[in-house]
Amino acid sequence: MSNELYIYVNAKHVGFTSKEIELFTRLINILEEIKNSRTVFDLDMIFNRYELEKDLKLNIEMSTHFKKKTNKKIKVRLAEVSIEKLFRLKDQVSWSDAFRDEKLLANGEGILSDQSLDRIIERATNSKYTEIRSNPLWIEILSEYINDEQYLILLKAFYLYRFETILIKKINWKPLGDIRDMIRLAKNNKYRYQIADKVFQLGKYQVTFSEYNRYCRIEGLPLLKVFGSEVGLNPVTNVNWNDAVLYSKWLSKVLGVKYKLPTSYEWYLACNNRNDLLWHFGNDENELNNYAWYDYNSDGRTHAVGEKSPNQFGLYDMHGNIWEWCEDEHSENNVYQILRGGSWESTSSNLYSRTKYELTALNKSNNVGFRLLRTLP
């Protein structure tokens, strides 16, 4: 049954006039054409018997305006329109909305079609669509619309955008030979900076529940329960050091690039680039709220990664949200692994860049997770 006939029969049944039926028909044709009724119209309100004619006209005008705005430059199939929307908009809600139309998905599966997947990869690798690089969390947003095979395809294409390059230049300290200068340098840990140029890539974000649970599902491991305020986008917690290492090895095998936990020192360099500051942004505690989730503002839970401001390297949540496992053991007791960064329940002083904490490798906690380091050739 056509839309026109369906509207006519039902409208006539409830007593609409022929003029109102004509308005309804015009409206439904517009809705059918632009395929975006859910984001523009409240259909229950539009087809209410007591809807005023002027309101119906207004809705028609709104839809026509929206149609012109949406298809200003190109007129393509619905799937391509949705993909265009994906690459035009940055906010996560709109990115998710772009994938809610069934014709973008495989038939009856609720999964992104392979054709749509190819189009996304084609567009995202085009330098014209820069949003893919500024919003690398979009894979988590799409997680409910992609199967495991598609997830791995997207990881191979885009996972590198989750990392920032950390370049640490060599500093040659030249003491004058005075014992007092040597003592002063030793107290300030200056000798440890006598290293060669160091370059690596550290994850912009702490590994999320969405990422980790997808790995669990692929490998047949029990899924973890999300702790915090945002499903999927929260940093993964309740993983021990061994879990984090196994995840990094799995990812390295899948993507063909070596991923690992950062050493405590690598984490420190990436946090504040050797600046003698309490936090990477400075020493003013009043600014900490802009950069970290901690006991002052966390409301007793973790939060979605990337909500606070990043450090100078573009890394998010280097202070707070969760403690992060490091690769190396404590120097005085190899039973314990080093943690960095502080968490949602830490005080401001526990978020200092230089602060270290330690746990046994088998310990799991709702305030401990990890981020990954990507090695470069």
pLDDT in the model for residue 273: 81
Alpha carbons 334 and 338: distance in angstroms, whole number? 10
DSSP element (H, E) containing 214: helix 209-219
SS3 letters across 4-22: HHHHHHHHHHCCCCHHHHH
Q: Give the pLDDT score at 28.
A: 59
> Confidence band (pLDDT; 50, 70, 90) for 3?
very low
Q: How far apart are CA 306 and CA 293, in angstroms?
A: 11
Phi-psi bin for 244: left (phi > 0), alpha (psi -120 to 50), beta? alpha
**pLDDT per residue as tens digits for the range 295-304:** 999 999 999 9
Going by pLDDT thresholds of 50, 70 and 90, the confidence category of residue 370 is very high
Structure tokens at 229: 């305020």
Q: Which two tokens stand for residue 53?
A: 């004619």
List beta partners, residue 320. 293
Q: What is the pLDDT of residues 83-131, one digit of tens each?
A: 666 666 556 666 666 666 656 676 656 778 888 888 888 877 777 766 6
The mean pLDDT value for 52-78 works out to 46
The pLDDT of residue 142: 76
Contact between residue 352 and residue 279 where contact means Cβ atoms under 8 Å apart: yes
Residue 118, SS3 per DSSP: helix
Q: What confidence score (pLDDT) does residue 17 get?
A: 64
**Would the pLDDT of 363 be above 70?**
yes
pTM for this prediction = 0.71
336: which strand partners? Answer: 360
Distance CA 233, CA 226 (A): 9
At 267 the pLDDT is 94
pLDDT digits over 244-276, tens only? 999 999 999 999 999 999 999 999 999 988 788
Q: For 125-168, how does the pLDDT look when each residue is reduced to its tens digit (9 = 90+)?
A: 777 766 666 666 777 777 778 889 999 998 888 888 888 988 87
Asked whether 232 and 209 are in contact (CB, 8 A), the reply is: yes
Tell me the C-alpha distance between 373 and 262, whole Å. 5
SS3 373: strand
183, pLDDT greater than 90: no
How confident is the model over 270-291, as a mean pLDDT? 92
Q: How high is the pLDDT of residue 227?
A: 73
pLDDT reported for residue 222: 92
Pairing relation of β-strands 259-260 and 163-168? Answer: unpaired
Extract the runs of DSSP E, i.e. beta strands, from the chain.
163-168, 198-203, 259-260, 323-330, 333-340, 356-360, 368-369, 373-374
